[in-house]
Structure 1
Amino acid sequence: MRYFYLSLFFLLGTSLSSETVLLKGGLVHSGDGNSAIIQDILLSDNIIKAVGDNLIIDGNTRVIELDGLPVTPGLISPLSNLGIVEINALDVTRDDESEVLTAGFSIFNAFNPHSTGIPWNRSNGITSAISTPSPSRASVFGLGSYFILDGSLEIKGLKDIAMFGRIGATYGSRAETLSMLDSLLDIGRMLGTTPIQEILELSLVEKLDIQSQDIFALGKVVNEGLPFVLETNRAVDILQALALKEKYNLNLVLVSIEEAPMVLDRIKESDTPVIIDPMDNIPNSFDELGSSLELGRILDQAGIKIMFSTQRSHNYHLMRQGSGNAVAHGMSYESAIAGMTKVVADTFKLGNRGSIESGKFADIIVWDGDPLEPSSFPKIVMIDGVIQDLSSRSSRLTERYTNKEDKPSSYKH
């Protein structure tokens, strides 16, 4: 029963951060691509101290018997609006767009750790996420940041870890969009040799009303290797993106890439990681006519690093369903687990997270069944070694309206 976690949380809760704990006998999917095996996990001071069999413990170690339940690292969403968008249709609850900045727009200081979407996703296994600006008419629309979803007002995360953009079926001419993106990247490259004031006086910069924050952000992409996450689908546009990667030595990440099988060798040769939605097999534009449920398998068998997104706003935990769908169509099971954990951490340089191994932060999920089955749910969610409360607005509403206690009708309606 899902509500097992309530008593466990109150029993163990915050005390775990200051004591040694042994998670004993779980089926551990480490996130590194290797097959799962039954192992013990020793935690202390928020860190995984050891993973193995018959670990030596002392009398002060708290032991939690897992009896073969599946264990994974905490899931990491590479694309979300968690903490910056509450209701999509209500502008006053959105902090994901700017009317002044483009490339330099950062959402970091708008993050709300008490957003109602966070407990819901955390209770479904998402322990951290990259929140991003929303797409705009510009080819680049700002900087995403990484957040730990523990609900604390002492926000933990990494500011401005990647730039986000899009080419293809957007507003205006495709040719103009590509030309403008090339020009913006060239402006960023100039920052290494040209004073900012001179760049601000360029005719294109003045025409587009580009601000100094935009130029500095572009400079980080071109000169400092800040990841550039670019959404595109048409095969020729993917090739254009790879050409820009080579021209500017970009740390490129491709998103969506429905026609990737047509240029598979080029993506592999470029060693470019990708983010896909394995549930997306219905074209939304002429750019997506190659949409297929086989995309995950094709990319995985080519040795391309894969991460996952979902089209369901606020329900980023559904990338777990998407990855399961990819496995059902031939993708490796452990590649799917890695695509929600270690691949994300490695791609975006998220520090000691994303896998179950000694020295990593103890972001750990214990599942009541197969992690890739939508009917499975977390029994334990740990962030930095602390067991989290898995209640959410949804679970509280469920309890309220299914409660059989004799209460006034006004309470239930």
Structure 2
Amino acid sequence: MLALTGGTVLTMAGPALPGGTVLVEGGKIVAVGERVAVPAAATVIDTAGRYVTPGIIDAHTHLGVYTEAYAWAGEEVNETSRPTTPEMDVLDAINPDDAGLADAVAGGVTTVMVAPGSANPVGGQCSIIKTRRRASAEEMLLKRHAGLKIAFGENPRRVYGEQKKAPVTRMATAALVRETLLKAKDYVARAGEKDWRFDLGLEAVARVLRGEMPLRAHAHRADDIVTALRIAAEFGVEVIVEHATEGHNIAELLAARQARLVVGPNLTTRSKLELKDRSFAAPAVLAANGVRFALMSDHPVLPAAFLPVYAGLAVRFGLSEEQALRAITAEAADILGVGERVGRIAAGMDADLVVWDGPPLAVASRPRLVILDGAVGEVDAAQTIAAWRE
């Protein structure tokens, strides 16, 4: 058994616990509180003067499928041979040796959603993994089939417009998404008929129609966000809007439709037209209107390791510290559909914990200890372990 004692425990499941204790055993949190009895046999780690948080959750990345330092050989995010590829499964491309994963752990990031890219109107299936290194991607899995990536806006138009084939317009992008959903609806309805044939791609879309996973819609511009919501409503399926750069411009509409967003990355320039209204104040505006959202790094667009810094920037521009931390812990977990396992410090949750030497969203604060599934300092990069324990 492991006991973290004396630190300020930010549970994200209730009020902060000054001088709190967290007990860990068998990869799970077994107790947390201000008056927890520590068994004599427990290994005690004194966290006095420090902050203890749940492991940080990055709700949108391409970690492991856009492998750092591999140049073109590590770019596995987009299958651009055709515009609709729902049969693609990101799990088949995750490289556990991606240096970005080790960096993420060192930054306190313990859970990430890994998605295909946004070249295709229908791009493939997402997975949620723990960042601990394992021999295979399966061993890192927290949730497979975590969403079907669809994409609107400039990226599909640019990629396929250059090939002189659809989609060249936003209309064609939406039509291809609808066509894929309609084919899957017919596929499900005809299951068991004499001429029915198994189809790997339509099986993936059928998971969306059955409510087993959501659509994950890449959409920056306000009209693209609304198109994603419209199509989801037409088919009665769940959708999570990714990026939502102009979401703050339609915050009341998003609140009325109970939309869920994964917002960001917020530390980029306006590198393309659909980012012209990018605003650091967007999270604060969304929160003021009651819109649910998580924050993302979009790694490798921004390094996942510094997600708490990006959340801290949202605080600078009006978001409360509690809301910002929730957007990379508890709220991120709930939006990803893994809130029963990660994102909070509570009995029964996975023992993913970070000990910080200062307030976790402060630029100067560093993780001094990272516990992932109950294991202390389990990373590949030995130099980061030394840094934690200085």
**Same-fold call, TM cutoff 0.5:** yes
Contact 1:23–1:66 (CA<8 Å) still a contact in 2? yes
Report the counterpart of residue 287 of structure 1 in structure 2. 274
Rounded Cα–Cα distance in structure 1 between residues aligned with 2:193 and 2:104: 44
Matched, 1:151 2:133: yes
Per-residue deviation, 1:130: 1.6
Following superposition of structure 1 onto structure 2, how do residues 247-396 of structure 1 map, counting pairs within 5 Å? Answer: 247-277=234-264, 279-280=266-267, 282-310=269-297, 313=300, 315-350=303-338, 351-389=340-378, 392=381
Per-residue deviation, 1:333: 0.9
Rounded Cα–Cα distance in structure 2 between residues aligned with 1:178 and 1:33: 42
User: Relative to structure 1, is the Cα distance of residues 108 and 379 closer, same or farther in structure 2, using a 3 angstrom cutoff?
Assistant: same
Query: Which range moved further: 95-104 or 298-307?
Result: 95-104
User: Relative to structure 1, is the Cα distance of residues 199 and 80 closer, same or farther in structure 2, using a 3 angstrom cutoff?
Assistant: farther
Q: Which deviations, in whole Å up to 9, do the C-alpha atoms of 1:267-295 show, x marking residues without a partner? A: 11222211112635743333333221110
Matched, 1:135 2:131: no
TM-score (norm 2): 0.86
User: Relative to structure 1, is the Cα distance of residues 338 and 196 closer, same or farther in structure 2, using a 3 angstrom cutoff?
Assistant: farther
Rounded Cα–Cα distance in structure 1 between residues aligned with 2:195 and 2:108: 45
Rounded Cα–Cα distance in structure 2 between residues aligned with 1:196 and 1:161: 27
Report the counterpart of residue 3 of structure 1 in structure 2. none
Q: Which deviations, in whole Å up to 9, do the C-alpha atoms of 1:66-114 show, x marking residues without a partner? A: 1131111111212222222324773323333334771110021332323
Following superposition of structure 1 onto structure 2, how do residues 2-401 of structure 1 map, counting pairs within 5 Å? Answer: 20-32=1-13, 34-35=15-16, 37-87=18-68, 90-98=71-79, 99=81, 102-136=85-119, 138-153=120-135, 155-157=139-141, 158-170=143-155, 171=157, 172-195=168-191, 212-277=199-264, 279-280=266-267, 282-310=269-297, 313=300, 315-350=303-338, 351-389=340-378, 392=381
User: Relative to structure 1, is the Cα distance of residues 135 and 236 closer, same or farther in structure 2, using a 3 angstrom cutoff?
Assistant: closer
Q: Which deviations, in whole Å up to 9, do the C-alpha atoms of 1:340-376 show, x marking residues without a partner? A: 1122222222241111011101000001112112322
TM-score (norm 1): 0.82
Say which one has the larger Rg: 1
Rounded Cα–Cα distance in structure 2 between residues aligned with 1:278 and 1:90: 22
Q: Which deviations, in whole Å up to 9, do the C-alpha atoms of 1:132-182 show, x marking residues without a partner? A: 21222x211111111112212261312221111211123121111112212
Deviating beyond 6 angstroms after TM superposition, the runs of 4 or more aligned structure 1 residues are 196-201
Rounded Cα–Cα distance in structure 1 between residues aligned with 2:222 and 2:15: 32
Rounded Cα–Cα distance in structure 1 between residues aligned with 2:335 and 2:323: 15
SS of corresponding position for 1:55: coil
Matched to 1:169, the amino acid is: E
Matched to 1:62, the amino acid is: T
Instruction: Name structure 1 gaps, 5 residues minimum.
Output: 1-19, 202-210, 399-413
Contact 1:147–1:156 (CA<8 Å) still a contact in 2? yes
SS of corresponding position for 2:148: strand
Instruction: Name structure 2 gaps, 5 residues minimum.
Output: 158-167
SS of corresponding position for 2:225: helix
Contact 1:33–1:335 (CA<8 Å) still a contact in 2? no
Per-residue deviation, 1:214: 1.6
Per-residue deviation, 1:307: 1.2
Between the two proteins, the alignment pairs up a number of residues equal to: 369
Identity among equivalent positions (%) equals 20
